Every structure is written in C-alpha cells, then in structure tokens.
Chains A and B, each alone.
Chain A
C-alpha cells in the first residue's frame, strides 16, 4: 500500500466517526484519552522531547558534562557544517551506497518474487532461503561476509585465484563500498522479496487470461499487467529501502571502520563519531537536522518522480 493511500484511509475513517458528543467532555473522551497514556508517555519522553531538545542542542556549543553552561552560538554549527569536507564526503559515500544497494535489492527481489510465484518446485524452501538472512543481526552478517571476502584466506579469493585475481575487497578504496553493498543485498533482500511476492499474489489471474486470449506476449503481459498492478508495492519498497539504506551504520562500523581512507564513512557513522568519539553533541545534533532535511527532500522527489501520476 502506498503511503498516500494509508494516509487517505486514515483521514477518511477518522472523519466518519460516530455521532459527536454534545457535552463538554464526555465519558468516552476521558476513556479514549486514558487508553492512550502508556503509549503517549513513552512517545513524549523518548521521541517528541528529544526531537525538540536536539534542535535546541544544535544551536549550542553543547557541554555534555555541564549542559546548563552550554554556550548559545546560534547557527554557527550549521554554518560550519556547510564547509565541513567530512560532511560532504560522507554524504557522497552514503549516496553511493544507496545507488549500489536500492536498485539491486528492488530488481533482484522483484525477479525472485516473480520466479517463486510461477510453477516451480520447492516454493516454500526457496522462500525460506531468500527470507532467512533478514532475521540475522548485523554483527553476524558482517562477520560472515568479512570471512568470505577476506583477502588472503577468504574462499572467494581462493576461487578467483584460479583466474589470477586477488582483489582486496574490504581494504581497497574502490571495492570496499561495493563489498558492503553485496553484504547488504544478502541481508535485507528477503523483506522486499516477501512484500513483492504478496503483491504478485494479489494480481487477479483473469487479467492474464484476457491477455492470453488477445494473444499478448509474456513480455507484454509483464509490462502492461504485472508492473502496473504491482506499482504500489514496488513504490513502497523503493521508498522504504531508500530511507533505510540512507541510514546505513552497522556494516561500515564493523566491517571497515569507515575506511580505507574514509571511503566507507557514511553519514550516520560520521554523526556517531562526532557525537560519541569527539563528544561534540551540538555539532552532531546539527548534522542530524541537516540530514533530516536532505532525506525529506529526496523522499519528496522520489515520491513525485516515481509515484506522481498514479491517482487511483
């Protein structure tokens, strides 16, 4: 379901509530509000409050030990950020990672979903295999791939050795990021595969029967039935993956420590280093807000470019 549909169905359902009460505060209102308290308590303290506190911090030279003595510096953190080469290089690295992972994940999971939907043997086994890495923690995923991609003792390089190759997967600036991307595709493909498979199962079979009667080729059927029918699910997967991959952290943190030569230092990793290694909380908070702005901008572009004309 697209995000727009979701929002649409919510506003609709909440508008068409039962008859409004006439009294100032009805019993149902009191009951209604009290049922929201546990969630809203956690929501306010751990989500809403930090959102405002972060903005406040970003205008300060924040002192972690004596917060009340932090110096108000206005927009200085943001001004400094604009000319911070580390910000721009990690932003660039993150975009590179997103470009490597998102299309690969979406296209490969789409083909696997369409394949598994067909008359194939061992459907359930295939589904289990493709989905299973999704339940692993990044530490496990990273460890396994660090061994597989090891330069001297890794199995991949052993086989590549037969054709005279010995690439330095995780320790050369050119290959480190693609290596993290491959690891990520293995890890997270399953989530998208499941969503696309469910979407394919929802396409009515009669559309294909009609197309067959009209003598349409399987390519035409794919282009004119499958893709348009699965459009919302594909759009959902693209947007979710975009937001998710943009926030990549564990892979570079464990597998490359952002190296070699900072080539895999992504934006969340940079924020983490500024905050928890350099203890520049105000500056780190400002990075968070700049990123949020970038992400909102890119999501809007994404949304209007890919989903702009799908008004069902």
Chain B
C-alpha cells in the first residue's frame, strides 16, 4: 500500500478510480458494509442519549427526533445536581464497587495461592466445591440471604452489598489458573533464602500477576458498579442508593421527561465509559480469560 501511495501523486484521478474499482473485492465491501452498518446501529443509542439529554422539553415533545438539537439546555443536569442525590449515589457506587473489588482481590488471591502453591490434603475437593458454586444461580439465594443480612443489621448499609460480593468463584478460578503456571523454581529459590509464605505471596506471586490482577480488578469493579437486583433489595433508603437504583427511583411514570431521564443516564454511564476507553485492553483480557481454551 505505502509504495503505491508514493506513485499515486503522478497518476491522474480517473486511472486511479478505475484501478480502485477493478481491485474492488465485492466480498470485502460486503463485510465492511455489514460491520459498519451494525456499528452505526450500535452507536445510535449513545448519540440519542447524549443529544436528548441537552434538549429542552418542548423539543422532546415534538414527533421529529433531533439527532443534533437546534437548541441546547443544561436544565436537566442542573435539576439533577440540585434536586436529587445523584452526587451521593455516585460516591456510594464508587465506594461500594471499590471496596468490594479490593476485598475480592485479597480473598480470591489468598485462597488461589493456597490452592495452587501450597500442598495440603483436601485442596482438590475445596477447589471442586468452589467451581461448583459457579453454577448456583444468584436468585436462588436472594430470599435467605436477605434474612441473613437483616439479622446482621446490614439493610441499607453499604456492607450489606459489599460482603455478599466478596466470595467470588470467578476470581478464584482465574487466579488459580494463572498461579499454578508460575514456575516452581522462583519459589524454591526464595524458600532457600528463608522467605515465608507471606513473602512469597507478596513479593513473588503478586508482582508476577499484575496484569491478570488488573484485568480481574477492572472486571469486578464494572460488575459491582452495575449490580442491580441485590442493591435494589438491600438498599432501602434514598441516601444509601447506588446509581442504578437511584436512577430508577427518579423515574416518574406520570410525567414524561425524557431529557431528565437521559441526563441521569449520561451521568451514570460516563464514569464507566471513560474508564472503559482508557483501560479497555484489561477488560477485554478479563473477558477473554473466561472463554479461551488453553
């Protein structure tokens, strides 16, 4: 391609177009049309969400949709910031997703270390139990779990959302797979130097696992940020809501306010979309690890 571009300047336009058409691969055009067609359909909801959140109510009540609004207003955002607890909900969501992620990483990496690097009877059975717990659908537990969380006085407390999220079999499984492939020699050399288990874990295993830990952390953060059913059950006061629950509580079936609704959606979506755009490769890695055959 690059050799051709140098020559292109000397050719006249018609020859170039003719050549282009002659080389045109119908199949390739079809593939591009399909992929970009779907991509445009995928982008449309984002565009609509964003532009409609800046539209005054009068425009929203017109039948014609405005993909680029002729008139812009910040009134919906202003209303949300002044009259709702959306800032508190954002802070709650950050705190819950952040603390849950840290606790998941600690608990999961510790047990994965024990299962993969320490030799003790029963670890094979324990691993099977944890993998089997993967299969337990979450709705099976919501009723008894709620009674337990109420008994512990954790209703409407962030801990009522965080603690049940800690035991995460997916994280154990991913880290177990990674830890067990770390060569034995590193560990043996360290043991000869008198390293304790904790030193091996913190100075050898964890530093070697940085990429996978980052991937897992990001996946868990997104997962806990977006959690819906469980926070809906546990968080019962306006101040305690996370963003997904708070957003739904703002819905008013009687009055049609698309601008305000979509502005709240933009506020809830933006932090994660930004994180996603910056750290996409880690999230992709975390998803790939769930499906790829070794």
Residues of chain A whose beta carbon lies under 8 Å from any beta carbon of chain B: 1-2, 5-7, 9-11, 13-15, 17-21, 26, 28-29, 31-33, 35-36, 38-40, 42-43, 45-47, 49-51, 53-54, 57, 64, 67, 108, 111-112, 115-116, 118-121, 125-133, 135-140, 143-148, 150, 152-155, 158, 161, 186, 191, 194-196, 198-199, 202, 232-233, 236-237, 243, 246-247, 249-250, 253-254, 268, 271-272, 275-276, 281, 284-285, 288-289, 291-292, 295-296, 299
Contact between B141 and A47 (Cβ–Cβ < 8 Å)? yes
Residues on B with beta carbons closer than 8 Å to the beta carbon of A202: 292-293
Question: Given the complex of chains A and B, what is the CA–CA distance between A31 and B32 in angstroms?
Answer: 57
Question: Given the complex of chains A and B, what is the CA–CA distance between A210 and B289 in angstroms?
Answer: 29
Given the interface pairs A47-B133, A118-B31, the reply to whether A281 lies near B143 with Cβ below 8 Å is yes
Measured CB to CB, the closest approach of chain B to A259, in angstroms, equals 11
Question: Given the complex of chains A and B, what is the CA–CA distance between A129 and B225 in angstroms?
Answer: 20
Q: Is B121 an interface residue (CB 8 A)?
A: yes
Contact between B292 and A285 (Cβ–Cβ < 8 Å)? no
Residues on B with beta carbons closer than 8 Å to the beta carbon of A127: 284
- Interchain CB contact (< 8 A) of A249 among B62, B127, B146, B229: B229
Contact between B32 and A135 (Cβ–Cβ < 8 Å)? no
Residues on B with beta carbons closer than 8 Å to the beta carbon of A126: 35-36, 39
Question: Given the complex of chains A and B, what is the CA–CA distance between A249 and B33 in angstroms?
Answer: 34
Contact between B258 and A46 (Cβ–Cβ < 8 Å)? no
Q: Is B17 an interface residue (CB 8 A)?
A: no
Measured CB to CB, the closest approach of chain A to B45, in angstroms, equals 5
Question: Given the complex of chains A and B, what is the CA–CA distance between A132 and B225 in angstroms?
Answer: 15
Contact between B49 and A250 (Cβ–Cβ < 8 Å)? no
B residues 90-138 touching A (CB-CB < 8 Å) = 106-108, 110-111, 113-115, 118-121, 123-124, 126-128, 130-131, 133, 135-138
| A–B complex contacts, Cβ < 8 Å, 22 sampled | A14-B115, A14-B127, A33-B114, A39-B166, A42-B167, A46-B148, A47-B167, A67-B147, A108-B38, A128-B280, A133-B45, A136-B226, A136-B269, A137-B225, A137-B272, A147-B48, A150-B258, A195-B288, A271-B142, A272-B233, A288-B141, A291-B140
B residues 27-70 touching A (CB-CB < 8 Å) = 28, 31-32, 34-36, 38-39, 42-46, 48-49, 52, 60-65
**Which residue of the partner chain B has the closest CB to A154?**
B65
Residues on B with beta carbons closer than 8 Å to the beta carbon of A139: 228, 243-245, 247-248, 265, 268
Contact between B291 and A132 (Cβ–Cβ < 8 Å)? no
Residues on A with beta carbons closer than 8 Å to the beta carbon of B283: 131, 135
- Interchain CB contact (< 8 A) of A28 among B65, B120, B127, B247: B120
Question: Given the complex of chains A and B, what is the CA–CA distance between A50 and B164 in angstroms?
Answer: 11
Residues on B with beta carbons closer than 8 Å to the beta carbon of A17: 119, 123-124
Query: By DSSP majority rule, is chain B's interface helix, strand, loop, or mixed?
Result: helix
Inter-chain pairs besides A253-B248, A288-B141, 8 sampled, C-beta below 8 Å? A32-B114, A33-B114, A47-B141, A53-B144, A136-B273, A137-B243, A236-B290, A243-B135
Residues of chain B whose beta carbon lies under 8 Å from any beta carbon of chain A: 28, 31-32, 34-36, 38-39, 42-46, 48-49, 52, 60-65, 106-108, 110-111, 113-115, 118-121, 123-124, 126-128, 130-131, 133, 135-148, 163-164, 166-167, 172-173, 176, 180, 197, 222, 225-226, 228-229, 232-233, 243-245, 247-248, 251, 256, 258, 261-262, 264-265, 268-269, 272-273, 275-277, 280, 283-284, 287-288, 290-294
Residues on A with beta carbons closer than 8 Å to the beta carbon of B44: 148
Question: Given the complex of chains A and B, what is the CA–CA distance between A134 and B107 in angstroms?
Answer: 26
Residues on A with beta carbons closer than 8 Å to the beta carbon of B294: 1, 9
- Interchain CB contact (< 8 A) of B143 among A5, A6, A275, A291: A275
Contact between B48 and A254 (Cβ–Cβ < 8 Å)? no
Contact between A111 and B144 (Cβ–Cβ < 8 Å)? no
Question: Given the complex of chains A and B, what is the CA–CA distance between A304 and B61 in angstroms?
Answer: 53
Contact between B138 and A247 (Cβ–Cβ < 8 Å)? yes
Contact between A46 and B131 (Cβ–Cβ < 8 Å)? no
